[in-house]
Structure 1
Amino acid sequence: MTDAAPRLIRSVRLPDAVEARIRSDFTAPPPPENPLNTQSLLELAHSYAPTAIILTHTAPLRQADIARLPDSVRLVATVSVGLDHLDVPALLARGLAVSNTPDVLTDCNADMAMLHILAASRRAAEYFTLVKSGNWTRPLGMDEMLGRRVTGKRLGIVGMGRIGQAVAHRARGFEMEVLYHNRRRLTPEEEAGATYYDRLEDMLPQCDILSLHMPGSAGAAPIINADTLALLPRGSVLVNAARGSLVDENALIDALRSGHLAGAGLDVYSKEPNPNPELTALPNVFLTPHAGSATVETRTAMGMLALDNVAALAAGKPLPSAVTA
């Protein structure tokens, strides 16, 4: 590591292989012990004068924050696909480059969605709690704690991008009928037999399971609310491994309590890392802590791609995963 190496700071500690590359090829302070928030990241940026900032959703940058960035910063590289924690137009208007980490996390996020589809449908959280608590003291009756079969069910996917298509591919292994709603209809090759619905409201009554895979948008109204939930068949399952802002959690709680939804699988929440306790207390919700990409392989690939962008910027080359709008 030399003074000529690109200078960067990061808002979080990255996987070991990524940290080793930072020590070898970049000039950077030690990784933070805990994820930095926006204010702490800005303070570090002013004290260290980096060329690049690597961050995640724990340190969002809005327009006012971007105005406070030091002039040394030329790139903001987010270790994520989603961009809802960044004001991308404001970053670009200031002349800063922006990059994200698409593709490398597709498979693990799709795997997580399938985990939630299975767990929410088969009441995994309730079974786990029963056994772990020591309260399983007699055989279950033939009519007790029955889940819902996944094989052969109708799966509705909202957002048929890379991850949505990967979920559809996995669902076909369970002989599921795939329905989808998307901003545009896919090509026949991409659809692979899935049924397209131009209007979400037309698809929802046909879904046994609904899985969300569209990006969030700061300030946008939730796409899943009391009205859209009411269109789902009674006893259906909702899975959200995309963004917490897509779901009106009060409406979701009502639907779960009333039995209109049999269950839900959630990896994301409107408030993180402290989700609504009324939601987390419900027995028929399978919960994970925004961990869709949390495997050694995927988080390492994400960090390496972020560093590839920093290295490309320093070398005057095109960014491998630039965000341009």
Structure 2
Amino acid sequence: MTAFSSNGKPKVLIIGEVDTNFASFKQFAEHFDYEVLEAVPASVKIITSCAAGFDSYDAKGLADRGIVLCNTPGLAAEPVADHVLYLTLSLFRYYHVFERLTRAYQHTIDPRRMLTTSSWDLEAGKPKIFDDKRNEADYSLETNSSITPAKFAFGELVAGRFVKTPKGHSVGILGFGAIGKEIGRKLNAIGMNVHYSKRTALTGEEEKELGYPATFHKEIKDLFENSQLLVLACPLNAGTHYVVNEESLKFLPKEARIINIGRGALIDTQAMLAALKSGHLHGVGLDVFEKEPIVEEELCKRWDVIIEPHIGSSTLENVELSEKNCADNIYNMILGDGKSLTRVN
């Protein structure tokens, strides 16, 4: 058995490392496509991944070769939901904006004063508090004549946008498996009204087990219309590719926010940017990206887009549980009943 990570290596080097005798325990960043598949020796019988998603693998091609592909489902629910909670609070409370200015000016009052007296630049995706000749580090209220500083600012206003609590707002969760349900639990705990969409509604027994109220929407349009915050927690497939697009974005309430912890291609990035520039969207939190591992430059420059490097499930506890799941899959295949525990192909 071998364990390796591709870590952005050229494909020729990746292929050179595919020399497993029986099993592969993998952390694979690129697509496990036909070219890599052809390099897999006939002795390999199982490939098991620490991740829940497996869209980067040619699952059918592996099955045709008699190779079992396993993922690690469900274990990431708690840490991913924690991540969504953080992004939710940041999008509603603008923590990331306040922190950026506090670090730049090493002051607690000036950032609030700046943001109270500035306006939001929709095109640039950030407050209009700097002129073209100054950057954050050079800025001062005394020398920038374009700003009339307030004597005091409470901090409830960010460049014309009100800071709000998530409580009482609606959240729509697209994808209501283990991760989606845990996201709902945490957001319900801070007072949000949970809506969800999946293939079928929860049964009465499942609703009791859920432990909090959640409204089912069969049609995605209905879910979007009830989502002041939209959380994408579904797999990427032919039916969900670009589920957030120019047309579907119109269904969201004005000033809505979006969080994506699923897969980058669930969102048409250009359509999302257009909605931010029009003001229809007020903010986005992304842990995954359409061109991952590359993050589009414009996303990096905008303050109304919170970006994270795909770390939703990245905790020590989850890594240890995921590794154990992979080992259990291989153990069961070799010394157990010959069947893997979490096969996906």
Instruction: Report the CA distance shift for 1:105/1:318 in structure 2 as closer, same or farther (over 3 A).
Output: farther
Matches within 5 A, 1:243-262: 243-262=263-282
> Relative to structure 1, is the Cα distance of residues 37 and 108 closer, same or farther in structure 2, using a 3 angstrom cutoff?
farther
1-structure distance, mates of 2:195, 2:313: 25
Q: Give the 3-state SS of the residue equivalent to 2:98 in structure 1.
A: helix
CA shift at 1:258, angstroms? Answer: 1.8
Going from structure 1 to structure 2, the CA distance change for 1:298 and 1:283 (only over 3 Å counts) comes to: same
Shift of 1:318: 4.3
Letter in 1 for 2:79: C
CA separation of 1:324 and 1:233: change in aligned 2, threshold 3 A:
closer
Q: What's 2:5 paired with?
A: 11
| Structure 1: distance between partners of 2:191 and 2:93 | 17
* Aligned residue number for residue 130 of structure 1: 101
1:226, distance to aligned residue in structure 2 (A)? 1.0
CA distance in 2, matches of 1:70, 1:220: 34
Match status 1:205 vs 2:225: yes
1:306 to 326, 331, 335: 326
Q: Which residue of 2 aligns with 1:171?
A: 187
TM-score normalised to structure 2 length: 0.80
Please tell me the residue identity of whatever aligns with 1:8.
T
Q: 1:221 to 1:102 in 2, by over 3 A?
A: closer
Match of 1:121 among 92, 95, 111: 92
TM-score scaled to structure 1, two decimals? Answer: 0.85
Deviation at 1:53, TM superposition (A): 1.5
- 3-state secondary structure, aligned to 1:272: coil
Q: Secondary structure of the equivalent of 2:194?
A: strand
Instruction: Look up the equivalent residue of 1:118 and give its one-letter code.
Output: L
Provide the C-alpha distance between the structure 2 equivalents of 1:189 and 1:38, rounded to a whole number of angstroms: 48
Decide whether the 8 Å contact of 1:11 with 1:54 is kept in 2.
no
Local SS of the residue matching 1:155: strand
The answer (yes or no) to whether the contact 2:87–2:259 under 8 Å persists in 1 is yes
* Conserved 8 A contact 2:330-2:340: no
- Aligned identity (percent) is 27
**Is the 8 Å Cα contact of residues 18 and 39 (structure 2) preserved in structure 1?**
no
Comparing 312-321 with 153-162, greater Cα deviation is found at 312-321
Amino acid at match of 1:144: L
Of residues 54, 76, 91, the one that matches 1:83 is 54
Aligned: 1:144 with 2:157: yes
User: Secondary structure of the residue that 1:262 maps to in structure 2?
Assistant: strand
Letter in 1 for 2:286: L
Q: Which whole-Å deviations, capped at 9, do the CAs of 1:202-256 have from their partners, x for residues lacking one?
A: 2212211110110113796311011111111111110101110100011111111
Equivalent residue number for residue 253 of structure 2: 233
**What is the alpha-carbon distance in structure 2 between the residues aligned to residue 319 and residue 111 of structure 1?**
33
**1:275 lines up with 2:295 in the alignment:** yes
Distance 1:189 1:134 in 2: 54
1:188-212 deviations in whole A, cap 9, x for unaligned?
A: 3434421111110122122111101
Structure number with bigger Rg: 2
Q: Does 1:159 align with 2:199?
A: no
Deviation at 1:45, TM superposition (A): 1.7
Larger mean Cα displacement after TM superposition, 305-314 or 167-176: 305-314
Long gaps (5+) in structure 2: 114-152
| Kept after mapping to 2: 8 A contact 1:158/1:214 | yes
SS at match of 2:230: strand
- Work out the CA distance in 2 between the residues paired with 1:217 and 1:183: 14
SS at match of 1:70: coil
CA distance in 1: counterparts of 2:184 and 2:86, whole angstroms: 13
Tell me, which stretches of 5 or more residues in structure 1 are unaligned? 1-6, 13-33
Number of residue equivalences: 296
For residues 190 and 38 of structure 1, what CA distance do their matches in structure 2 show?
Answer: 45
Q: Is 1:180–2:196 an aligned residue pair?
A: yes
Q: Is the 8 A contact 1:100 1:321 kept in 2?
A: no
Give the aligned partner of residue 30 of structure 1: none
